[in-house]
Amino acid sequence: MMPGEISYFEEIKRKAIHLSSLWMVAVTLVLPRCFEYGRWISCVVFAAGLLITVFSEHDYANGGKYIGRLYGMLFGKMLRKEVKAGEWLVSGGAFVLAAALLVNLLFPPVIAAAALAVMLTGDAAAALIGRKFGRHPAPNGKSWEGVAAFIAAGYGFLALVLALGGADTVLYLAGIPAVILAAAAELFTRQLRIDDNFTIPVCAGAVLMLAVWLFPPEPTPAENIQKAFDNTVEGVGELFNR
């Protein structure tokens, strides 16, 4: 084990917590369907979670007796770097929540949910497969097996979210470069100097959004019928108003 590297068991625990954050994908996808302002409710949930996480980590860094001690008991051994007094961010958790908030603000729900799914599943697969089965070195001390695991898991769950969200075919195709770019963001985190929990969903979401702008999805038969019905109702209404 390299200096500063956590044990594989702690890595498993760390990624289990990572995967438990898939609730964010569900919130992003479901709330806008259930409530008129569901998208903004999601943003409030993620913003609140971000504030709680930041203050909990700050309290831990300063040796807090209650919240800080509880944080240390739950997550202390899983931290990759030594914590310095006064730090506000000591883990990737805050970046996950910040990314969830940002993609919900920037992108439609299905794209935001898919982007988060890529980050949560791809990053976990890359870490666990790469450390256990990595044989071919990649940049920054990582392995090509881990990169392949990221792409496979990331695209698999992206496609699942798109299917659940009823997305157009263009997003499935755009998902390929989206996941590859996200894998590159994870691979070159050191050079980007931004936590990959933040860059991965932003990159994936940006590619998917670009595809929607360049290739607007065709209306579905149901949407065409609804549009024709609305036009008919509008025309009848105009006749009666004359």
- Structure confidence by residue, pLDDT tens digits, 110-164: 999 999 999 999 999 998 998 889 899 999 989 999 999 999 999 999 999 999 9
Domain-located, residue 52: yes
Domain-located, residue 235: no
Cβ contacts of 29 within 8 Å, gap of 6 or more: 109, 110, 113, 161, 164, 165
What local confidence, expressed as pLDDT, does residue 229 receive?
Answer: 55
Task: Measure the N-to-C terminal CA separation of the chain; round to a whole number of Å.
Answer: 82
The tokens describing 213, both together, are 């702008």
- Give percent of the chain with pLDDT exceeding 70: 87
Domain-located, residue 3: no
Domain-located, residue 228: no
Q: Strand, helix or coil at 138?
A: strand
d(CA 139, CA 135): 13
Domain-located, residue 238: no
**Segment among 48-62, 167-181, 201-215, 219-233 with least mean pLDDT:** 219-233
pTM: 0.83
What local confidence, expressed as pLDDT, does residue 214 receive?
Answer: 93
Q: Is the pLDDT of residue 86 over 90?
A: no
d(CA 32, CA 141): 40
Domain-located, residue 234: no
Supply the range of the domain harboring residue 98.
8-221
Cβ-based neighbour number of residue 230 at 10 Å: 10
Strands (E), the chain: 137-138, 142-143
Q: Please compute the mean of the pLDDT values over residues 67-88 and round it to a whole number.
A: 78
- Give percent of the chain with pLDDT exceeding 90: 59
Q: Please compute the mean of the pLDDT values over residues 166-180 and round it to a whole number.
A: 95
Domain-located, residue 90: yes
Domain-located, residue 60: yes
The tokens describing 114, both together, are 């898919």
41-45, 52-56, 68-72, range with greatest mean pLDDT: 41-45
Q: With bands split at pLDDT 50, 70 and 90, how would you rate the model's confidence at 224?
A: low
Hey, what amino acid is at 226?
Answer: Q
**Residues 147-184: b if buried by 16+ CB within 10 A, e if exposed:** bbbbbbbbbbbbbebbebbebbebbeebbeebbbbbbb
More confident of the two residues 225 and 145? 145
Q: How many domains does the chain have?
A: 1
Q: Is the pLDDT of residue 3 over 50?
A: no
